[in-house]
Structure 1
Amino acid sequence: MLELSNINVYYGGVHALKNISLKIKEGEIVTLIGANGAGKSTTLKAISGMEKLRSGEIKFNGEDINSLNVPSIVKLGISHVPEGRRIFSKMSVMENLEMGAYIRDHKEDIKKDFENIFSLFPRLFERKSQMAGTLSGGEQQMLAIGRALMSRPKLILLDEPSMGLAPIIVKEIFSIIKDINKSGTTVLLVEQNANMALNVADRAYIIRNGEIEMEGNSKKILVDERLKKAYLEG
C-alpha cells in the first residue's frame, strides 16, 4: 500500500531523514518508534506532503506521490493526525468534524460518517455543540482522530496519540485504534510509548538519528534486548 524508498529530508543544513525505507501493507498496524528528535514526525510529514524530499521516493498504491500537495494526498486516501492534535479550538466539535469532510460532497454519506464517528466516540456526540478548545486532552485527541476519519482514509497517520494523556485514557485511545483498523483502515502509528505501540502493532520500525535501526514483527521486537536497553529501560 505505502512504500518509502531511500527518502532524505533536510531542515536547512540538518539531515533529518537519512535514506529511510519502509513498507506498509493494506490492513496492517505498523508502528514507528524512537526517542525524541529521531525523525518520527518528519517521516509522517514527508508522507502527507508537509515536508518535501531532497531525494528518494514515496508511493501509495503504486502511485508516486512525491510531487503532490497535501489536499491531493488526502484525496488519494491518506489522513494525518498531527502531534499535539491541532484541532480548531474556536470551532465546535461538529464544525471540526465537518472540516474533516471538506474534500467530500455526498451529503448522505457524510451524514452516515457523523453517525459512525459518534458511535466510535460517544463523548463527542455529548459535546457536539461545545467549543473544541474546552474539551479535555483525551476528548481533543478523539476529535482529532474523528476529524481525520471524516475523509474516509485508506491509511491514517497517527503522531503521538498518547502524548500528555492519563494512562486510563491512553488505553482507551489504543483500543479505538484497534477498532479503526478492524473496520478496514490501515494505520501508521508514531509513538514514544514503545510498550503500548508494540503491543497494538503488527510490525515495527525503530528509528534513531534519522535512520531505521531495526524492523520486524512487533512482538519479537518487544522482547529484543537491544530495544529494551534503548527504549524500555528508563
Structure 2
Amino acid sequence: MLELSNVNVYYGGIHALKNISIKIEEGEVVTLIGANGAGKSTTLKAISGMEKLKSGEIKFNGEKINSLNATSIVKLGISHVPEGRRVFSKMSVMENLEMGAYTRNDKGEINNDFEKVFSLFPRLLERKEQMAGTLSGGEQQMLAIGRALMSKPKLILLDEPSMGLAPIIVKEIFSIIRNINETGTTVLLVEQNANMALNAADRAYIIRNGEIEMEGNAKKMVADERVRKAYLEG
C-alpha cells in the first residue's frame, strides 16, 4: 500500500532522514518508534506532503506521491493526525469535523460519517457545539482523530497520540486505534510509549538518528533484549 524507498530529507544543513525505506501493507498497524529527534515526525510529514524530499521516492497504491501537495495526498486517501493535535481552537467540534471533509463532494456520505465519528467518540457528540480550544487534552485528541477520519482515509498517520494524556485516556485512545484498524483503515503510528505501540502493532520499525535501525514483528520486538533495554525499561 505505502512504500518509502531511500528517502532523504534535510532541514537546512541537517540530514534528518537518511535513506529511509519503509513498507506498509493494506490492513496493517505499523509503528515507528525512536527517541526524540530520531526522525519519526519528519517521516510522517514526508509521507503527507508537509516536508519535501531531497531524494528518494514515496509510493501509495503504486502511485508516486512525493511530488504532490498535501491536499492531493489527502484526496488519494492519506490523513495525518499531527503531534500536538492542532485542532482549530476557535471553531466548534462540529466545524472542526466539517473541515476534515473539505476535500469531499459526497454530501450524503459525509452525514453518515459524522454519525460514525460520533459513535466512535460519544463525548464529541455531547460537545459538538463547544469550542475545540475548551476541550480537555484527551477530547482534543479524539477530535483530531475524528477530523482525520472525516476525509475517509485508507491510511491514517498518527503522530504521538498519547502525548500528555492520563494513562486511562491513553488506553481509550489505543482501543479506538484498534477499532479504526479493524473497520478497514491501515494505520502508521508514531509513538514514544514504545510498549503500548508495540503491543498495538503488527510490525514495527525502530528509527535512530534518521536511519532505520531495526524492523520486524512488533510482538517479537517486545521480547528482544536490545529493544527492551533501549526503549521499554525505565
Pairwise TM-score range, normalised by the shorter structure: over 0.9
**Aligned position for 2:214:** 214
**Aligned position for 1:151:** 151
Letter in 1 for 2:77: G
CA shift for structure 1 position 201: 0.2
CA shift for structure 1 position 228: 1.0
Equivalent-residue separation in structure 1 for 2:76 and 2:123 (angstroms): 30
CA-to-aligned-CA distance 1:179-230 (integer Å, 9 cap, x gap): 0000000000000000000000000000000000000000000110101111
Equivalent-residue separation in structure 1 for 2:120 and 2:24 (angstroms): 25
Equivalent-residue separation in structure 2 for 1:105 and 1:5 (angstroms): 33
After TM superposition, the structure 1 = structure 2 runs for residues 179-218 of structure 1, keeping only pairs within 5 Å, are: 179-218=179-218
CA shift for structure 1 position 232: 1.3
CA-to-aligned-CA distance 1:60-110 (integer Å, 9 cap, x gap): 000000100000000000000000000000000000000000001221100
Letter in 1 for 2:179: D
**Aligned position for 2:224:** 224
Equivalent-residue separation in structure 2 for 1:66 and 1:159 (angstroms): 19
**Aligned position for 1:104:** 104
Equivalent-residue separation in structure 1 for 2:37 and 2:31 (angstroms): 16
User: Is the partner of 2:8 in helix, strand or coil?
Assistant: strand
CA shift for structure 1 position 20: 0.3
**Aligned position for 1:69:** 69
CA shift for structure 1 position 135: 0.3
User: Is the partner of 2:114 in helix, strand or coil?
Assistant: helix
**Aligned position for 1:133:** 133
After TM superposition, the structure 1 = structure 2 runs for residues 27-106 of structure 1, keeping only pairs within 5 Å, are: 27-106=27-106
User: Is the partner of 1:205 in helix, strand or coil?
Assistant: strand
Aligned alpha-carbon RMSD (Å): 0.4
- TM superposition score normalised by structure 1: 0.99
Equivalent-residue separation in structure 2 for 1:47 and 1:133 (angstroms): 28
Letter in 2 for 1:160: E
After TM superposition, the structure 1 = structure 2 runs for residues 151-170 of structure 1, keeping only pairs within 5 Å, are: 151-170=151-170
Identity %: 86
User: Is the partner of 1:4 in helix, strand or coil?
Assistant: strand
**Aligned position for 2:6:** 6
Equivalent-residue separation in structure 2 for 1:193 and 1:146 (angstroms): 22
User: Is the partner of 1:118 in helix, strand or coil?
Assistant: helix
User: Is the partner of 1:53 in helix, strand or coil?
Assistant: coil
- TM superposition score normalised by structure 2: 0.99
CA-to-aligned-CA distance 1:118-149 (integer Å, 9 cap, x gap): 00000000000000000000000000000000
User: Is the partner of 1:229 in helix, strand or coil?
Assistant: helix
Equivalent-residue separation in structure 2 for 1:178 and 1:150 (angstroms): 17
User: Is the partner of 1:114 in helix, strand or coil?
Assistant: helix
User: Is the partner of 2:71 in helix, strand or coil?
Assistant: helix
User: Is the partner of 2:188 in helix, strand or coil?
Assistant: strand
User: Is the partner of 2:204 in helix, strand or coil?
Assistant: strand
CA shift for structure 1 position 43: 0.1
**Aligned position for 1:118:** 118
Letter in 1 for 2:229: K
Equivalent-residue separation in structure 2 for 1:45 and 1:139 (angstroms): 23
Structure 1 portions without partners, runs of 5+? none
CA-to-aligned-CA distance 1:13-40 (integer Å, 9 cap, x gap): 0000000001000000000000000000
